[in-house]
């Protein structure tokens, strides 16, 4: 089956060499995607369009797959599905068009539209009139309506070839992936960073993914699956990296040493420092985030400007002036909303009374209370995988944990809330021992506990405790459960 692709209009107005480079890249991207999907594909480029052929024979499932893929590859404005044939006269064209449109015409008004290229002895309007007349003769009960036809019979004539257009589809537009260089997207699993990642891909960036892990396996699995989904859908023409960086130590020091009013902005500044170092390491020209002005306390103009100062890389914020509802709608459209809805909302890091316009000097003073080598250590602990490995990798990470509503005698409750939260509403239990071990210390300090006992992890929402319990199990500790008291 054959498709004629129209280029994204911004590509069409480029100079000849730029346009040629973009067309070449788009052709290669289409071939790469087809290879990833194990589809046979050939691409022929012309000055203003690409011709793409999938498979040799007509096949409905192959056709659907081809339409699906072409509607997701950046750089394609729209595409036509065509039946192509050699023609000698108008009878040849009519016979082909009749096979395609005949059944659809029943009881409907119609018009024939012809686009023509090359040298012919007739104009497009004359061709429309002649072929239209043949249809009218063959389907005398159907009315011709040139202004608002129910069915439009679209035909293109190019030298001695003719195409009957059997379908029209919208592409996602944008620039071919890879045309704008490499970036590193900070992805958290929420609505915003999924959409900002997609926007960067659509604009032609080759997007690598960076996740700061602050609380365990469940979050990491969710973010990896979302990243794989975005890559597989819109950018599988290029191999990219998914990078995980353990952030528990940084979160721990923020919570233990800095003023609660600036914890959110310090956390983001640390992300930018570590992100910039990783970007430099992999040769990415910019960081991409899902931040948007005013959305949360760390996204006031003042705080965004403090965040910018901590980065040595360019920061791209594709959503900076978008409304939240529009972002959620776009996430629904591209398919990432489901991930965001199910992502564990993890408790504990952001402060209760954030300062929306702190002095930079105050933020810097507070940061100076943390160890100076935190960034270096975080970068050194980064784990890189090829994004293609995610499906296998997440299978390995899945670990299930028993959740109980009633504590049993002898079980030790491990309170993994942040010190502030634990102090504000301390647990009061008569029959069970309680150990305070905030979530950012659990992985490191758990082995120092008596391993003959059973530990039941607790936090306010039961999400962080589950993430930590999974991580402990994955580390080989089997004496862990989660306590979610009935409310
Ligand atoms: N754990 C994380 N790992 C990687 N990047 C992160 C992480 N948390 C936040 N970010 C980055 O910082 C941006 C702002 O995050 P924040 O949590 O303040 O706001 P948000 O609007 O809820 O973001 P999102 O909806 O993407 O989670 C995110 O869009 C993302 O780019």
* Non-local CB neighbours of 417 within 8 Å, separated by 6+ positions: 347, 348, 438, 439, 458, 459, 460, 464
332 C-alpha to center of ligand 1: Å? 18
Question: Are residues 133 and 34 part of one domain?
Answer: yes
Residue list for the binding site for ATP: 186-187, 268, 290, 299
Q: What percent of the chain has pLDDT over 70?
A: 97
Question: Are residues 165 and 222 part of one domain?
Answer: no
Question: Are residues 188 and 151 part of one domain?
Answer: no
Per the document, the length of the chain is: 487
pLDDT band at 138 (very low <50, low <70, confident <90, very high): very high
Judged against a pLDDT cut of 90, whether residue 350 lies above it is answered with no
pTM: 0.84
- For residues 340 and 467, the model is more confident at 340
Question: Are residues 461 and 370 part of one domain?
Answer: no
Residue 45 lies in a domain: yes
pLDDT band at 25 (very low <50, low <70, confident <90, very high): very high
- Write down the pLDDT at residue 349: 59
211 C-alpha to center of ligand 1: Å? 9
Judged against a pLDDT cut of 80, whether residue 9 lies above it is answered with yes
426 C-alpha to center of ligand 1: Å? 30
Question: Are residues 78 and 159 part of one domain?
Answer: yes
Question: Are residues 375 and 265 part of one domain?
Answer: yes
Of 170, 197, 219, at which residue does a domain stop? 170
Q: Which atom of ligand 1 is nearest to the CA of 290?
A: 29
CATH number at residue 235: 3.40.50.620
Residues linked to residue 50 through DSSP beta bridges, in sequence order: 5, 45
pLDDT digits (tens, 9 = 90+) for 107-126: 899 999 999 988 999 999 99
pLDDT digits (tens, 9 = 90+) for 298-310: 899 999 999 999 9
In this structure, the strands spanning 76-86 and 161-173 are antiparallel
Measured from CB, residues less than 6 Å from any atom of ligand 1 are 186-188, 190-193, 210-212, 214, 271, 289-291, 295-296, 298
Calpha distance 77→122 (Å, rounded)? 30
Given phi > 0 = left and psi -120 to 50 = alpha, else beta, which region is 178? left
Active site residues: 459
Q: Which token pair is 481?
A: 């459960």
Judged against a pLDDT cut of 60, whether residue 346 lies above it is answered with no
102-111, 216-225, 474-483, range with the lowest pLDDT: 216-225
Question: Are residues 385 and 405 part of one domain?
Answer: no
* Non-local CB neighbours of 395 within 8 Å, separated by 6+ positions: none
Residue 177 lies in a domain: no
Question: Are residues 247 and 145 part of one domain?
Answer: no
- Write down the pLDDT at residue 46: 83
Of 170, 203, 238, at which residue does a domain stop? 170
- Write down the pLDDT at residue 84: 85
Distances, alpha carbon 483 to alpha carbons 34, 411, 449, 465, in Å: 48, 10, 18, 8
| Residue whose structure tokens are 């018009």 | 111
For 221, the domain range is: 182-389
What is the enclosing helix (H) or strand (E) of 275?
A: helix 263-282
Pair 443, 471: CB distance under 8 Å? yes
Q: What is the predicted ipTM?
A: 0.97
Sign of torsion, CA 97 100 104 107? positive
> How many domains does the chain fold into?
3
Question: Are residues 144 and 187 part of one domain?
Answer: no
Residues linked to residue 423 through DSSP beta bridges, in sequence order: none
């Amino acid at each position: 089956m054959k498709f004629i692709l129209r280029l994204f209009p911004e590509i069409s107005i480029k100079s000849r060499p730029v346009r040629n480079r973009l067309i070449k890249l788009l052709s290669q991207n289409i071939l790469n995607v087809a290879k990833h999907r194990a589809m046979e594909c050939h691409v022929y480029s012309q000055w203003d369009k690409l011709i793409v052929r999938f498979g040799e024979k007509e096949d409905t499932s192959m056709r659907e797959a081809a339409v699906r893929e072409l509607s997701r590859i950046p750089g394609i404005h729209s595409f036509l599905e065509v039946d192509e044939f050699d023609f000698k006269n108008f009878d040849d064209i009519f016979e082909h068009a009749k096979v395609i449109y005949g059944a659809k015409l029943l009881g409907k008004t119609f018009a024939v539209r012809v686009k023509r290229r090359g040298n012919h002895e007739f104009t497009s309007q004359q061709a429309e009139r002649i072929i239209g007349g043949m249809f009218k003769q063959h389907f005398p009960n159907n009315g011709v309506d040139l202004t608002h036809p129910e069915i439009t019979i679209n035909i293109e004539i190019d030298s001695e070839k003719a195409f009957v257009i059997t379908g029209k589809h919208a592409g996602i537009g944008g620039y071919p992936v890879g045309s704008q260089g490499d970036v590193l997207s900070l992805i958290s699993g929420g609505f915003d960073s999924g959409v900002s990642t997609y926007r960067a891909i659509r604009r032609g960036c080759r997007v690598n993914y960076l996740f700061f892990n602050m609380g365990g396996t469940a979050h990491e699995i969710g973010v990896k699956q979302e990243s794989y989904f975005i890559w597989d859908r819109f950018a599988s023409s290029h191999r990219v990296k998914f990078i995980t960086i353990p952030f528990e130590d940084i979160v721990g020091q923020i919570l233990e040493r800095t003023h609660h009013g600036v914890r959110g902005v310090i956390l983001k500044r640390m992300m930018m420092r570590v992100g910039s170092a990783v970007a430099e390491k992999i040769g990415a020209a910019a960081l991409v985030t899902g931040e948007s002005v005013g959305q949360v306390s760390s996204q006031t103009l003042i705080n965004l400007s403090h965040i910018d100062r901590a980065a040595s890389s360019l920061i791209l914020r594709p959503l900076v002036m978008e409304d939240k509802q529009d972002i959620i709608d776009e996430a629904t459209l591209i398919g990432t909303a489901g991930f965001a809805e199910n992502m564990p909302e993890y408790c504990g890091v952001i402060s209760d009374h954030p300062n929306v316009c702190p002095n930079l000097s105050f933020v810097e003073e507070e940061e100076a209370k943390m160890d100076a080598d935190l960034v270096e250590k975080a970068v050194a602990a980064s784990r890189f995988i090829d994004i293609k490995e995610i499906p296998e990798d997440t299978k390995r990470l899945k670990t299930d944990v028993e959740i109980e509503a009633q504590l049993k005698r002898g079980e030790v409750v491990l309170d993994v809330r942040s010190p502030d939260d634990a102090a504000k509403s301390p647990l009061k239990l008569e029959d069970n021992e309680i150990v305070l071990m905030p979530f950012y210390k659990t992985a490191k300090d758990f082995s120092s506990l008596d391993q003959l006992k059973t530990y039941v992890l607790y936090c306010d929402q039961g999400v962080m405790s589950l993430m930590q319990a999974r991580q402990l199990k994955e580390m080989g500790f089997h004496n862990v459960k989660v306590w979610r008291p009935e409310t």
